[in-house]
Structure 1
Amino acid sequence: MKYFIVILAAVVLAQAADDDWVPKTPEEFNAIRRECHKEFPFSKELQKQEDNLDFSDDETVRKYEVCVFRKWGIIDAEDNFHGERLVKQFDAVLDEVENIEQKVNNCVDKNEQGSPIDVYASRIQRCIDKTDIAPNLLKVIGKL
């Protein structure tokens, strides 16, 4: 019984930690993007690609993506990717996109390949960019 209580307490604490995360407003999200661009500046060519949601497999872009995901709270300190937070975020700001949860879940894998965090984050980003989530999100947050 003692172990059951400890396990139950751990589950409750884990759920409470997830419940603390709240979706970002477009202003907060853009502030995160600007901070990460300061840390990982893009060349003019990379900036043009970003404006068209066409992220290349470039080291600077991958580091920028990890920066954004970390500050956003989508990747935690242990490099765990929280797809459920992406779903919450998109549900909060997008009303034109159907099946957001399914589309996010199709993109978020468990990194069975053991890829470095930047490669993992970039793989998810590129997948989401191929859905209708990305252009609709860009309409909400605007360009930097």
Structure 2
Amino acid sequence: MNRFSQPDRHPMQWLTANEQSSDLIMAAHRLLALEKHLKKCLPATLAQQVAVTAYEDNTLTLLIYHAAPAAKLRQMTSTLCQAMLRGGWNIKKIEIRMGTEPKFAHQETMERQARPLDADDLSHFEALQTQLEPGRLSDAIQALIKRHRPD
């Protein structure tokens, strides 16, 4: 009986069944652990934009997609190496690679939560507009009322 004839086996059991895929799983877990610790050492906005791609010969390779955060990350490399060393990772050097497309390009878009303005809403805007001095805000509110008023 081979390993493919057991459909009820969990995929992780199948992946750890031979040495090659077992090594792959171990490397992936190591990179994920490295990335998790690295992101704890970074400011939140920068942590969202960084991915760990390799760790070989005490060199950590990071992937980032935009130049400005990459420049900030380059300024922090020595501090990050020290922080990673304190966390138990023997990292002597950090390389930063630029990616070609954003990692988060496929984010879910939020559904628009708008409702049409009813007569009560429009009356409030009309009251607000009468209290305003003539200007751009007053003109914008007038245009809003005109656009939403049923003909």
Q: In proportion to residue count, which structure has more strand?
A: 2
Question: Greater share of helix residues, 1 or 2?
Answer: 1
TM-score by length of 1: 0.26
Structure whose CA Rg is larger: 2
Q: Which has the higher contact order (CA 8 A, sep 6+)?
A: 1
